Amino acid sequence: MKEQKLFKKIVSQNNEFERTPVPASQLKSGKSFLGMYAGEHTAGTEFVIGPLFVAHGVSAGDLFLGLFIGNLLAVLSWGLMTGPIATKKRLTLYYQLERITGKSVVNLYNFINALMFCFLAGSMIAVSATAVGIPFGLEMPTLSDWYPKTPGWIVAVMIMGAVITLIAIRGYNQVAKFANVMAPWMILIFVSAAFAALPQLGVHSFDEFIVAAKEVIWTGVPLPGISKFNIWHIIFFCWFCNMAMHIGMSDLTILRYAKSWKYGFLSFAGMYIGHFVAWIASGILYAVFLQTNVNSQEFAPGPIAFQAAGVAGAVCVVVAGWTTANPTIYRAGLALQGIFPKTKTWKITAIVGGITSLAACFPALVMKLLDFVALYGLILMPMGAVIFADFYFADKFKFQQEQALKNNRNFTWPALAAWICTLFACLLLNYFYGLDVFFLGLPGWFIAVILFVSFSKISFPALKTKLA
Amino acid sequence: MKSILKLASFIGLVLTIIPPILFFKSVISLDSSHLYMTIGMFIWFGSAPFWINKKTDDQPDES
């Protein structure tokens, strides 16, 4: 399918147009982006995020309104921030950063990105292991677990990790094809499982669903020991869970193939199928699990899906986890390959797979997935702000656009300093004002833009000003 | 051949979505719903890869 071709192109080792703009002849239609976004955002993480909202005691009204607004803000971020820059410049995030701040900062960015990918893939391996462990009676992790509890869990995760790493070593192509085939079925499984789960809550009509949604599923009461979420948590999580991709600009790499800047808005397919329907559906499944396992602290997507959708549900959890983990390991490998170009791809993928499998042993990655996803976006966001400021504010505030390229340097300090100072400022906001990680992205973006513009004005004033 | 595969895939998806709705409407039992969904899964797995990826391979580059 076209979307698979597009994605393959993007993660391909022989990445075309790595250092040149994508030519007009290579641009893709809107249909490619629509399919790709829908498939990309209906993944293994959805089996965890929906249930975690239930565990955090979100009320039904807060959830539905929060998901609607948060997803809308995410779509607008893709459409109004990423799309226009991607189609104007048609360069990858990495090359744009290199032109602004030099190769050495890009290497650091790549390293951090790879590390984040490892943890994300690790959480997906753990999710898959919860389904694979069902026939073996594996003791499942609970909401309060941070460390592996049983040797059986470690063995299951390591086996899953080894298989996924071996497949990643063999290359991306087959997995991409498999994921492509699975996407329509997986989306339907989410909806089917919700329908199968509702009668187990005594729901047989829409009116009964409204009542059950408020009183049984999203009750507004968190599970013991879990913090309470309100509508702001939902809005900001929805908006910023893919922050690295839209405001953080990593989707420049994808959207540079778009025929029109408006294609960024096509991310609505991923947001409103994956981050609306699938999160609601997986929340319903968890509510059923809690009803039938009163006082259970167990948090395992495999058994939760199995209870509602039988074997198909459990297989869906394995497939969703696998098809998310595999390309993520592959992308992490590619990011590291950028730093160590002489090391063989299979060696790097094997190392990445090893780190990922080790990380997957820790259930904390699943239980704290919301925090991790928010942190991931926050850490990479400042570099997106740098690209945004360089693109829109260089002329207005009179500093040099693409300063590393213009001055023929391997390193310029304003972007790195803005990155580090922004994260430090966010840390202070969190420490002294108790601002949750979910909310830090918004002030953080403004801090990053202001700092980068100020540092650039000091260090790289526009040529005209310099001459004057 | 492709039409037959597409039809089979469609049946697989129907067996994935309709039985849970019938269970929701109290027409069939949960066990039956699970069984039909499993059958639907096998039909989808056995048919979709042969036409979805076939289409990919056959498609000329958009350029």
CB contact under 8 A, A185 and B59: no
Do the domain assignments include residue B60? no
At B56 the pLDDT is 47
Range of the domain at B27: 2-50
Angle made by CA atoms A194, A199, A203, in degrees to the nearest 5: 95
Do the domain assignments include residue B56? no
Do the domain assignments include residue B42? yes
Q: Is the pLDDT of residue A131 over 60?
A: yes
Q: Quick one: which of A247, A281, A295, A287 has its CA closest to A267? A: A247
Q: How far does B57 lie from chain A, in Å, by closest CA?
A: 8
Q: DSSP states of A334-361 as a string? A: HHHHHH-TTS-HHHHHHHHHHHHHHHHT
**How many domains is chain B partitioned into structurally?**
1
CB contact under 8 A, A309 and B20: yes
Q: How far does B31 lie from chain A, in Å, by closest CA?
A: 8
Do the domain assignments include residue B55? no
Beta bridge partners of A38: none
pLDDT digits (tens, 9 = 90+) for B1-47: 889 999 999 999 999 999 999 999 999 999 999 999 999 999 999 99
Do the domain assignments include residue B59? no
Residues of chain B in contact with residue A204, where contact means CB-CB under 8 angstroms, are: 24-26
* A 12-31 residues inside an 8 A Cβ radius of B: 25-26, 28-29
pLDDT digits (tens, 9 = 90+) for A6-64: 655 555 544 567 788 989 988 888 888 888 888 888 888 999 999 999 999 999 999 99
Q: Is the dihedral of CA A142, A146, A147, A152 positive or negative?
A: positive
Q: CB-based contacts of A13: which residues, under 8 Å, 6+ apart?
A: A334, A337, A345
pLDDT digits (tens, 9 = 90+) for A286-327: 999 998 887 788 899 999 999 989 999 999 999 998 888 888
* B 26-55 residues inside an 8 A Cβ radius of A: 26, 30, 33-35, 37-38, 40-41, 44, 48-49, 52-53, 55
Mutate to test the interface with A, among B27, B28, B41 (most CBs of A within 10 A): B41
Residue A44: both structure tokens together = 């293994």
Do the domain assignments include residue B62? no
Q: Quick one: which of A41, A47, A323 has its CA closest to A193? A: A47
What average pLDDT is seen over chain B?
A: 86
Q: How far does B4 lie from chain A, in Å, by closest CA?
A: 17
* A 437-456 residues inside an 8 A Cβ radius of B: none
The confidence band for A167, taking pLDDT boundaries of 50, 70 and 90, is confident
User: For chain A, what percentages of helix, strand and coil (3-state, to nearest 5) are there?
Assistant: 75, 0, 25
Do the domain assignments include residue B34? yes
CB contact under 8 A, B44 and A185: yes
Which comes out higher in pLDDT, residue A214 or A167?
A214
